[in-house]
Chain A
Amino acid sequence: MEILSNLALGFGVALSPLTLILAVVGCFLGTIIGALPGLGPSNGVAILIPITFTLGLDATAALVLLTSVYYGAMYGGRISSILLNIPGDEPAMMTTLDGYPMAKAGRAGDALVISGVASFVGALLATLALAMVAPYLARIAYKFGPAEYFALYALAFATLGGMASNNQAKAALASFIGLAIALIGLDNNSGFYRFTGGNLHLADGVDFLVAIVGLFAVSEVFVFIETHGKASAVGVKLGKVTVPWAEMWSTRWTMLRCSAVGFVAGVLPGAGASLGSFMTYMMEKGIAGDKGGFGTGVAKGVAAPEAGNNAAAGGALVPMLTLGVPGSGTTAVLLAVLMTLNITPGPTLFADRPEVVWGLIASLLIANFVLLAMNVPMVKIFVKVLMVPPAILLPGVTMISFVGIYSLSGSYFDLVLMIVFGVMGYVFRKMDIPTVPVILGILLGYQMENNLRHAMTLSDGDWTYLFASPIAAVLWIAAAVGFIAPMFLRGVLKRPQAPESAIED
């Protein structure tokens, strides 16, 4: 019953008026961010980070706000998938397959309600599972020494890189570029400056928030300038929204199965929400067989990926909180938040700062109920937001990014650096080089090097020490498998693309 007392502690923290208001604001902003094509959970959270800090919120309050945005964006992604056949963010891609056919058949309201409830079921069960699993994993993590942590970081890069790109060489390159950027600046152990080229602005290193906002938000502007915002959403129509109880009830097992599978997919480092929704959709399609009519607009086809990706979003918090290793791009961004707040995620977090961990979990539970209310009865508000033309939205996002970064340091240099990262993000996206490993490298580079140096000093320079313990060996093997396996699986698990032609009509 330890979990109940822990949750009681959490609700004690989370049920203050300020955190409740922040949760509601975060859920609202998050749903909008998720619904807008071109803004997903990672860039949405990224833009809001600097602003959160300048507001002077404490650690718990900042986390509540940003994780509510995170969960909200996962809910919101489905709205544009269903109405426009454009995924609001990547994990919502599978929802287009049955959601858009339902909308075309005049059942957009039903699709939104069913997928909203599926999101709720997935996210709620995953949050409860997080509360149960995380403390145990934190206990195992106490056994980790520097060699194990180094192996764990390697595993995170291998699996995240392996999943994120179609080309392993490009994923590996992105990781190394991130690590190289992390090494710029003062080396705390030796007191030497490295790779600054004599530039004083680089002496403190590259702030990962600058990199994140540049890669995720500024690069988006370039994409929209090139395409002239073709993916805009003018002319969306949605009739009266009613709740199709019987049809929803028929998807109950789908929702439960997909929540379980999605959670596991989320916990695996690197797999994340996109894989969660993909796996659950394919699983349900297989179970339903040809008679299931998947792809023609059936309720199970929207329930499965939405339960899956929201459960994965909760699952991805497990490795982030217990080990300090993010399981997805957005949790990498959340890790950046924690590090900026001087909170080191990992096993000690559960012992030293229980109010942060359990306050976070409690506020996630609250956020879920807020989101259910916003996304089912109030869904029409967000449909209106979809009509904001990109010619207003993207300049707005850019200006917010500039002010956010400027308010952190007040330095023009960081702004220029952010633009450089924006250009880099655009070019990388064109070349199909994933940007998430770059972020991960910048975030983890310092700790990865420290653990390696620590391990080598302990072993007096014996490199086999890195593979000596059973935990480390298992992690290395998992890393190798995670990096190599996608090369072979890619042919088998070819992702179905949303039909391009459907966007035009």
Chain B
Amino acid sequence: MEYGKPEMMAVAIMRAISDGDIVFHGLASSTPMVAMKAAKAMGKTFTYLTLSDGVDHDYLKPPTVASTLTANTYEGSVATFGLDEIFDLYSSGKGDIAFLSCLQMDKSGRIAMSYLGGTYDNPKLRGPGGAGSATLTPVTKKTIIWKPQHDKRTFVEHVEFATTSPDVNKEFTVITTLCIFKKPAGEKYLKVHTIFPYTTLEEVKENTGWQIDETNVPVMDPPTEEELRALKLVDPNNILGFEFK
């Protein structure tokens, strides 16, 4: 079966989830939504929380839009657990994974979500804001950023104003269209952890705004037939493609 960047990213997200994890994604999060549905279809037994209040919704009902606030992530749920309850849960250290995104990021994992260009008070573009990431990043066991682009406008040398940044003592992962960056617990900077099969370390370097010192990094296994079938099963309308247009 053929695959492209969307499928590879989704599969990287699926593989990051372990049985027993409590996992959250927020609004405007079509990529992790499809990947988490597919991870469910693969039989992973994790808890799916999101801001439609639904807990472990019926993942077989296909999404028709990229919005992650619709009835699609609510119907067939076994319980409701709202955003304020999710924040309480994660603040008490019980959240395993939060999938978050960014407008820009630097090598220390400083994330810009508040604005792009200009200054905080006189921004060129006022962003949507951290969407809970400033609250969740410091308290979540594993923060995972997904970003459906990999270029020098996104991964910059220095982020002037950090809407949030990682806790030095916690693992922090970034999944892009080309690779996975990881900041291990106890370390300060992101390192290239794995590259995807269709790229090279050279291409990653050319498209990253900070200096990459790694010289030899493993290549992630391509998606398996089973993983690609799971993605097709939960997403017949190709909502996964939305963020990659």
Does A associate with B in a complex? no
